[in-house]
Amino acid sequence: MAVYIVTGTPGVGKTTILNEAIRGTSLKIATFGDVMFEMAKEMKLVSSKDEMRSKIPLDKYKKIQERAADKITGMSGDVIVDTHASMKRLDGYYPGLPEQILKKLNPRVIIVIEAKPSDIALRRKEDSTRQRADFGGAEETMEYQSVNRAFAIAYSAMVGCPVKIIVNEQGKILEAAAKLREVFK
C-alpha cells in the first residue's frame, strides 16, 4: 500500500483536482476530515463538519485523528489522503498531521495544492455549502498557505519523503489534475 498525502487550504480546489486526477485509476481517496467527522458525529461531539475546528477539545481531537489514521492505514491498495497540513483554530495553527499520525501514514510523497489567495477567497465566498467565515480574505489566505507549506516541509523532513507543490490556476483544473496524476505514476 502506498499513501499519498494531498493538502491545501480550504477553497484551493484540492478535492476537485483530486477527483479529476484519479479518474480511470484504481486509486482511492480517503478524506481525513470526513473520516474524523464520522467518528466525532458517532461520539455526539459535533453535528456538522465545520464544527470540528471549534467544538472538539484538542485532547479529544488528537485521539480522533489517531483513530482516523488507523482506519486509513487499514485500507487496501494505494490511498490518497485528502487533508490539511495545518488546522486553523481560534487560538492559532495546529499541525493537521502530528508526528505520530504522519508516521502511521508513512506517505510516499506530500503534495501541496496552492492558488492565488484572491482566487481562494473568492471560491470560499461562493461556496454556500460550507461555513468558512473565519478564514478571512486574501491576506489571511496567503498567511495560511505559507503556514501550510512550512508544515508540509517539516512533515517531509520527519518521514523522509519529497514535497511536491502544484499551483491550481483559476480555470485550469485539468492542467493541475494532470500534474497531480504524474505524481501517482
In this predicted model, what pLDDT tens digit does every residue of 96-155 receive, in sequence order?
999 999 999 999 999 999 999 988 877 777 766 655 545 567 788 899 999 999 999 999
79 bridge partner residues: 3, 28
Q: What is the pTM of this model?
A: 0.89
Q: What is residue 116's predicted lDDT score, i.e. its pLDDT? A: 93
Interior/surface letters 82-95, b for 16+ CB within 10 angstroms, e for the rest: bbbbbbbeeeebbb
| Residue 47: alpha-carbon gap to chain centroid | 20
> What value does the mean pLDDT of the chain take?
90
Q: What is residue 182's predicted lDDT score, i.e. its pLDDT? A: 95
Q: 175 versus 138: which is more confidently predicted?
A: 175
Q: What is residue 174's predicted lDDT score, i.e. its pLDDT? A: 96
Q: What is residue 127's predicted lDDT score, i.e. its pLDDT? A: 67
User: The dihedral of CA 72, 78, 84, 86: what is its sign?
Assistant: positive
Domain 3-183 of CATH type 3.40.50.300: yes
Q: What is residue 27's predicted lDDT score, i.e. its pLDDT? A: 93
Please state, in angstroms and as integers, the Cα–Cα distance from residue 97 to each residue in 23, 79, 105, 149, 168, following that order: 26, 16, 9, 13, 23
**Starting from the edge strand earliest in sequence, which strands make up the sheet with 3-7, in order?**
28-31, 79-83, 3-7, 109-114, 163-167
